[in-house]
Chain A
Amino acid sequence: MAIKIQVPRPTKMELSRLKKRHKLATRIQKIVKDRLSLLIMEFLQTVKECAAVRERLLADFSEAYRAYSVAFGYHGKAPLEKEMALSEMPFTVSSGTRNVAGVKLPFFEIEKGEAATAQLRNRIDGSSVLAQSIEQSRKCLETIIQLTELQNSLDLLGTEINKVKRVNNALEFIVIPALDVTIRYLNMKFEERDREETARLKYVKQLLERKEAHAY
């Protein structure tokens, strides 16, 4: 049950102030509710994307593992390790933030450079098997970065949804009902005062009439 707000003096001015606050609170609650529904929509979309990327990452990992096994069998341990140590993956990851309905989400973008496989092909001890394994590991890294962004976004969106839900619940179940109850209480108080006033006037009128009757 909603608790009445303590009003210093039950006056019409206080009532109009409460009505203004009620209007504002209802407006904000509507907007907060809209924001909540949008955040939930974004969250669900991110969940779907996250699941898809996770599946892709698993497939990429198994592919990379297969490619490495073949390269390991073809070259042997020492040459493979040497090639791996020498090969580089020339790409840059730029990071920043993107804003979704007031939530700052991480943003990673991969910019590809010259492929490492092209460098490998030029070397004498390089092979297509090795190039393929490097290409696969590069793919894995890209997917990991994508998954990192999505997973982090998911966490932040979840936290924000909780916060917005709390604000929405506070407005919907505490602030607005309390204002409703107080406005109703003040209205009743004024009506009661009006009724008392009418009764008093009637009584005075009766007294005057009686006085007039006795005067004659």
Chain B
Amino acid sequence: MPTDATKKGDTPAEVYLYNEFRAINAHVPRRRKSIEELLGESAPQIDCGDGSTHFFRKKELHLLADMLDDEERKDFMLPMLIEVSSRDNSYAVPSPRGTEAKVLSKICGTNLSPVMNRVTLFKPHLSVIRSSLKTCTQYIFVA
């Protein structure tokens, strides 16, 4: 059966390829929550696009909360989405207010400033970020 991305005349091979493309990003959260909202929950969690639930580690939430002030806690949305672009093999985190850049700079120990509302990351940064923020970050694949 054709999905939204596919057209009526597409062959099964094309439908399969489109579905594969959709399945890659199925884990992206339906709605992100602010850190303040998550800290108020007894079991901080969000619903993913594929119907699963993603839990947050409280230790990580407290680590992030310590880095931010009250105003930033309301705006800081979790999980942080790490965009993986296959076009130029780069990793980036959208940072519209610069809070993400501030947090990532503190975790990586280097100055990461946003360029056009995006913080560009390199692989060594990624492993540092992922090891300390395992549940607070998620990958999203961009073509």
Contacts and interface: CB of A to CB of B under 8 A. Distances in A.
B17 A24 contact: yes
Contacts of B123: 41
Given A38-B84, A41-B127, A109-B57, A98 B21 contact: no
Output the residue of A25, A31, A175 with the most chain B CB within 10 A.
Answer: A31
Output the residue of A32, A96, A102, A175 with the most chain B CB within 10 A.
Answer: A102
Given A102-B27, A107-B135, A21 B84 contact: no
A27 to B, nearest CB: 5
A33 B52 CA distance: 24
A209 interface: no
Interface residues of A, number: 31
A32 B17 CA distance: 12
A175 B54 CA distance: 34
Contacts of B52: 97, 99, 104
B13 interface: yes
A97 B139 contact: no
B92 to A, nearest CB: 13
B48 interface: yes
Contacts of B126: 41
B143 interface: yes
Contact of A34 (B13, B18, B21, B84): B84
B127 A97 contact: no
A4 to B, nearest CB: 14
Main secondary structure of the interface of A (DSSP, over half): helix
Nearest to B137: A100
Given A25-B17, A101-B27, A109-B58, A31 B143 contact: yes
Interface in A63-104: 94, 96-102, 104
Contact of A35 (B18, B24, B127): B24
Contacts of A33: 86
A30 interface: yes
Nearest to B89: A34
Contacts of B24: 28, 31-32, 35, 102
Contacts of B120: none
Interface of A: 17, 20-21, 24-25, 27-28, 30-35, 38, 41-42, 45, 49, 94, 96-102, 104, 107, 109, 167, 175
